[in-house]
Amino acid sequence: MQRPIRVLIAKPGLDGHDRGAKVVASALRDAGMEVIYTGLHQTPEMIASAAVQEDVDVVGLSILSGAHMTLFPRVQQLLHDAGRDDILLTGGGIIPKEDIEALRARGIGELFGPGTSTSDLVDYIKAWFAEREKQEA
């Protein structure tokens, strides 16, 4: 029997709108994943620390503030510094297409915008996890 996928959902920065993050957390939980929601106003350091302490497979950032080009790379660097390059860093929010391409080129996972079906996110995480498990076997 396969273990549940562990996902940390975080709202970095000063953005106070977390409805989307809560919807995503609920959808992932309903899909059988273990979800840790860190709440609002998290620093990259708090997020990376929680990800390592909770031994998650995935970190999902919800960013609506426009700070995605700073926050995603900072969390990615902190996870790398902690020796956790195996964690998928993904997320969503209001992110222009050219910034999505730049972040993907840095090794950030898929990024999802407003109106994305939660099933698309669930399918993406499950497919990523299955591929990782197959490579580790």
Domains and CATH numbers, the chain: 6-131 (3.40.50.280)
Query: For residues 35, 38, 89 and 91, what is the CA-based torsion angle, rounded to 10 degrees?
Result: 90
Average of pLDDT values for 25-43? Answer: 96
- Whole-model pTM: value is 0.96
Distance (Å) of CA 32 to CA 56, 75, 84:
14, 25, 23
pLDDT at 1: 63
User: Residues 51, 123, 101, CA angle at the centre, nearest 5°?
Assistant: 70
Upper half-sphere CA count for residue 21 (Cβ side, 13 Å): 27
DSSP tag of 57? S
Task: Kindly indicate the confidence band of residue 16, based on its pLDDT and cuts at 50, 70 and 90.
Answer: confident
CA pair distance 53, 111, nearest whole angstrom? 24
